[in-house]
Amino acid sequence: MAAKNPQAANPAFYALLVALIFMSVGPIFLMLATSFKLNVDIMSDSSALFFFPTIRNYETALCDMLWYEVEHVRRCDPTFGRALVNSLIVATVSTALTLVIGCMAAYALVRFRFMGRDTVSMTTLMMRMVPPAVLLVPVFGIWTFQYGIDGTRFGLILIYTAMNLPFVIWILQSFIVQVPIQLEEAARMDGANPFQTFFLVVLPLIKPGLAAAAIFTFRVAWNEFLLGNALADRNSRTVPVTIVNSLTEYDIDWGVIMATGMLLAIPPIIFTFVASRQIITGMTAGAVKG
């Protein structure tokens, strides 16, 4: 296509490109700008672009985590700071768990022929589409009455790991298939046992796949609201839950809420810019190998 298109530099295409970039970044930029505004600036009719930026909203949200006293905050509300710590712990631990367990399972499904293999891979496929809304009632019931782990970080980690596992297993399969089996056979000849072969030979080769899987898993655990809301108590609330809780019908403190939203959005934004290639590979593998 490209070779046949010497007129590709048509300015209309660049205009379209710029418009699309503007449209997808615009709302995010607007949120960023609002998070640096005082409420008077948000409410005023003057232009949205000229204002005196302030980090007050961030100070209000993070007041108990700062090393200095914030004088404009009369009563410090530690909810958000605590939620940020919870979110970080829950998302990181469940991502690590999911990856380790998921790639072991994916390896077994790709490289071994054994009884029950088809059942396992069919089950993971079916479990892939179970949405949080469907899990809401049973997980609430079981976590509260049977496991007794409601209101703990462990409870959240367990359900997020389980929710992400089918997807991770399935996406890593497509990466493990591409590892030349001769490498594994060579390792086996040199006397490595299956676990050594897996951890020392296969894992280093599927790093891009692991990166993609890690990002998708982290994203789900970091962003999830519904189950977090049902399971967490005051001390184990995650950031999405606190944000929704602070949304009231009237009189929303837009500046502070946008600052918290921005803090929630920062890790995924960083991942996007650092690893966009892996993300796209992961997404494409998802559709092509449906």
Partner 1 sequence: MLANANRLTPYLFLAPAILILAVALMYPVGYMIWASFLDWNPSQRIAEADFVGLRNYTNLFSDAAFLESLGVTLRFAAVVVTVEMVLGVGLALLLDRQLRGMTILRTVFILPMMIAPIVVGLMWRYMYHPTVGILNRTLKSMGLDPVPWLSDGGWAFTSVVIADVWQWTPFIFILSLAALQSLPKSAMEAARIDGATGWQLIFYIKLPLMMPVLIVTALLRLIDAFKVLEVILVMTNGGPGLSTEILALRISRTASEFRELGYAAAMSNLLLILLMVLTLAMFFYGKIMDARAARIRAEAEEAV
Using the rule CB under 8 A, is 40 a contact of partner 1?
no
What Cα–Cα distance (Å) separates residue 163 from each residue in 49, 58, 199? Answer: 42, 32, 24
Residue 160 CB, nearest distance to partner 1 (Å)? Answer: 9
Interface residues for partner 1 in 166-195 (CB under 8 A)? 166, 169, 194
Say if CB 3 and CB 223 are below 8 A apart: no
Within 219-278, the residues that bind partner 1 by CB under 8 A are 219, 222-223, 225-226, 230, 240, 243-244, 247, 254, 257-258, 261, 264-265, 268-269, 271-273, 276
| Range in contact with partner 1 (rule: CB under 8 A) among 29-37, 73-81, 175-183, 199-207 | 29-37
Rounded to the nearest whole angstrom, what is the least distance from the CB of residue 137 to partner 1 in the complex?
5
User: 278 with 212: CB under 8 angstroms?
Assistant: yes
CB 211 within 8 A of CB 171: no
Residue 140 interacts with partner 1 (CB under 8 A): yes or no: yes
Structure tokens at 135: 């899990």
Query: How many amino acids of this chain bind partner 1 (CB under 8 A)?
Result: 98
**Looking at this protein, which amino acid is placed at residue 285?**
A
DSSP 154-168: HHHHHHHHHHHHHHH
Is residue 205 close enough to count as binding partner 1 by CB under 8 A?
Answer: no
Q: Which residues in 96-135 contact partner 1 (CB under 8 A)? A: 100-102, 104-105, 107-109, 112, 114, 117, 120, 123-135
The answer to whether residue 24 forms part of the interface with partner 1 (CB under 8 A) is yes
- Measured from the CB atom, the residue of 22 and 78 that comes closer to partner 1 is 22
Residues 6+ apart with CB under 8 A from 99: 168, 210, 213, 214, 217
Closest CB to partner 1 among residues 18, 65: 18
As a whole number of angstroms, the longest Cα–Cα distance in the chain is: 75
- Report the nearest approach of partner 1 to the CB of residue 81 (Å): 18
Contacts of residue 156, defined as CB under 8 A and 6 or more positions apart, other chains included, come to 90, 94, 227, 228, 231, 232, 236, 238
The nearest distance, CB 68 to partner 1, in angstroms, is 28
